[in-house]
Amino acid sequence: MLTAIIPSANRASVLHETVISLTNQSLKPDEILISVAEPERDVTQPTLRIPGVRVVVGPEGLTQQRNTAIAGLRSDCTLVSFFDDDVELHPEYLLRCRSFLSEHTEVAGVSGHPVADGRLIGEITRHEAVRLLTDRPLRPPPGHRPRFALAGFDMTVRRDVVEKVKFDERLSLYGVYEDFDFSVQCKRFGLLMTVDRCLLVHLRAGASRVSSVRLGYAQLVNPLYLWRKGSQEWYPTLHICARSLFGNAAGCVIARQGISRAERRKRLWGNTLGLRDVVLSGLEPERIHGIA
C-alpha cells in the first residue's frame, strides 16, 4: 500500500490541483493524507470529496505536519510519498517509483527527476507544468543514480524506515533543510537514489507558507543548527550560509531566479536577524516564531 502525504497551509486551491495530479496517476495512491493545522482554511470542500483523501490535523509547521501524518498512517501502508502542495506529477510517476523500489530492496528512499523547479527559474503555472510533462518522452531511459539527500518536495521512503526516523520539529514553520536532516537519518537504513523516469514539476506557487523575513532567518539559523546537531559538516554549512547571504544581497540589486528585489531585501534582513541571534543568544531555531 502506498500513501501520499501532503502538508499544506493557506494554499487550498494549489493543494487541490496537486491532489488532482495524484488522482490522475496510472497507479493511484491507496490514500492521500493531507496534514493541516486549520482544515476550514487549508482544504476546500471539493478536495475533501475526492475518494481516498483523508485529513489529519495537528500543529502548524512543515516538520510537525509531516510527523502528524506519519503518526496517522494505516497499518498496511508499505511506502510513503512526501510531496509539497505545489507539484505536478507525470501520470506514471508513482507506478515507476513503486516498480523501482520493488526491484531495489537495498534502497531506503528515492526522489524523482524535476523537469523544472520554480525555486530555480521562478514560479511555474499549473498549465505550464502539465505542458512540460506532456512534452517529455513517454518512456525516458530507466536511469538511476545515488544522491546525497532527498528532495523535500518529492521523496518516497519505505514505511519501515519512516517508523524509525522523524522530522526534527525544532526546525519550525517552513522547516528549511529539514529534508537534509531527514535524509541523513534514512541513510542508516539504505541507499538514497534519484529515479530519472519519475518525472515531476515543482511549481513554487506564489502564495507563500511563511514570510520572507522568516525564510531568511531559517536560511541561516537552520543549517548552523544542523551542523551543531551533527547532521552536516562545517564546510557545506559555511557554503550554504554564505550562498544565502551573498545571493540575497546580490538579489537586492538585480532580480534573480524569479524572486523580486523587495523579497530579497526581506530575506537578507531575516539573514541578519538570524546572525544576530546566533551571536547573542545561541542556536535556537524556534526563535523564528518571534520574527514578524
Residue of 172, 188, 196 lying closest to 285 (CA atoms): 172
Which of 180, 202, 224 terminates a domain? The answer is 202
Q: Are residues 225 and 169 in the same domain?
A: no
Structural domain includes residue 220: yes
Is 64 in contact with 174 (CB distance < 8 Å)?
A: no
Is residue 208 over pLDDT 60? no
The pLDDT-based confidence of 259 (bands split at 50, 70, 90) is confident
CA dist., res. 30 & res. 11, Å (int)? 23
Is the same domain home to 61 and 98? yes
196 lies in the same domain as 219? no
Are both 145 and 67 inside the same structural domain? yes
Say if 217 falls within a structural domain.
Answer: yes
229 in the same domain as 135: no
- The verdict on 185 and 224 lying in the same domain is no
76 in any annotated domain: yes
**pLDDT band at residue 289 using 50, 70 and 90 as cut-offs:** confident
pLDDT of 206 above 70: no
Q: Cell digits for 151?
A: 528532495
Q: How far is CA 27 from CA 123, 137, 152, 156, 285, in A?
A: 28, 19, 22, 14, 39
Pair (99, 239) in one structural domain: no
Specify whether 126 is located in the same domain as 81.
Answer: yes
Residue ending a domain, among 202, 232, 253, is 202
> Taking all residues of the chain, what is their mean pLDDT, rounded to a whole number?
92
Q: What is the CATH number of the domain that holds 187?
A: 3.90.550.10
pLDDT band for position 112 (cuts 50, 70, 90): very high
pLDDT of residue 292: 75
**130 and 81 in one domain?**
yes
The better pLDDT of the pair 3, 250 is held by: 3
Residue 138 has pLDDT above 60, yes or no: no
How many Å apart are CA 48 and CA 46, to the nearest integer? 5
207 within domain boundaries? no
Rounded mean pLDDT, 262-279: 93
Q: Are 125 and 226 in a shared domain?
A: no
Structural domain of residue 278, as residue ranges?
A: 212-290
Position 255 scores a pLDDT of 75
CA distance 208 to 177: 17
Indicate whether 149 and 272 sit together in one domain: no
- Which position has the higher pLDDT, 44 or 281? 44
Q: What pLDDT, on a 0 to 100 scale, did the predictor assign at position 161?
A: 97
Average pLDDT (215-223) is 94
pLDDT at residue 290, as a whole number:
84
The answer on pLDDT for 207 being more than 60 is no
Whether 137 is in a domain gets the answer yes
Question: What pLDDT is attached to residue 20?
Answer: 97
Q: In the predicted model, what is the mean pLDDT of residues 190-197? A: 96
Inside any domain, residue 109: yes
Looking at the structure of the chain, the number of domains it has is 2
The answer to whether residues 235 and 113 belong to one domain is: no
Coil vs helix vs strand at 191: strand
Confidence of residue 194 (pLDDT cuts 50, 70, 90): very high
218, 173 Cβ separation under 8 angstroms: yes
The answer, yes or no, to whether residue 181 has pLDDT greater than 70, is yes
> CB–CB of 16/46 below 8 Å?
yes
Least confident of 22-36, 154-168, 199-213, 266-280: 199-213
Nearest to 159 by CA among 75, 42, 250, 267: 75
pLDDT computed for residue 248 by the predictor? 92
pLDDT tens for 38-67 read 999 999 999 999 999 999 999 999 999 999
Q: Say what the pLDDT of residue 54 is.
A: 98
Asked whether 288 and 214 are in contact (CB, 8 A), the reply is yes
Exposure letters 25-44 (e unless 16+ CB within 10 A, then b): beebbebbbbbbbeeeebbe
Of 151, 172, 202, which one is at a domain's C-terminal end? 202
